[in-house]
Amino acid sequence: MEEDIHYLQRPGGADLAYCYRPAKAGVKGTTLVFLPGYMSDMEGGKAIALDAWAEAQGRAMLRLDYAGCGASGGEFEEQTLIDWRDDVLFLIEKVTTGSISLIGSSMGGWLMLLVALARPMRVKAIVGVAAAPDFTDWGFSQEQKMTILREGKLEEHSDYSDDPYVTTNKFWQSGEANRLLHKEIAFDGAMRLLHGQNDADVPWAYALEIAKKTRSSDVQVHLIKDGDHRLSRDQDIALLIDVISRLR
């Protein structure tokens, strides 16, 4: 599967990289939109596998890189959570038509909720994979938060990249200003949450908390007992595709 990378410049923002394939003639279903995690991009294993399945099914799909990530322009450390939400909104509006289903991995699960709340008439379904809303609140110790505030950023070892895991003060402040789990999440569409119970980064209890706080009654949580944070094994991806295939 080879797809050309296209670029669109968001007004006041960076050149955003994306891959989009429209639906085949006569094929119904929402456009799938994959939202990567923090310091990730549209070339990750889950995104590529889902895109291959969507192509085989004739489904429309959009993959994208946030500003400062992957093939997109911009500096990573200049971005905030809301900047990335607005990147997603911009590409959805410029590239896709009709109803969409958002698939958010880790931080992408936070963004999918923010995007769904911003475009309730377009987002029909959301699928979270180890979704991590509000991680600026629960994901850092008090000492780490003080380092972010005092030094402007926190650098940590990353298990998923050779580069350090960097959290800037501006990103952290943006996250704190856009926390969701303290009140009802006013989404009424279908929600599916997949979470590994061996997730060392995002406790699986947050999947239950998201489900509890979401207004919709069409909510299902899938717990994978031996699953880790990435949920990128063959059986994990097969489950993700099966869940998405049942949503139209």
> Residues with catalytic annotation?
106, 199, 229
- Distance, in Å, from the CA atom of 53 to the CA atom of 75, rounded to the nearest integer, reads 32
Report the 10 Å Cβ neighbour count for 133.
27
Can you read off the two tokens belonging to residue 51? 């895109």
CB 91 within 8 A of CB 62: yes
Helices 81-95, 169-177: axis angle to 10 degrees equals 70
Helices (H), the chain: 45-57, 81-95, 107-118, 135-138, 142-151, 169-177, 205-213, 234-245
Helix (H, G, I), strand (E, B) or coil at 51: helix
Q: How far is CA 35 from the centre of its chain?
A: 3
- Distance, in Å, from the CA atom of 68 to the CA atom of 83, rounded to the nearest integer, reads 10
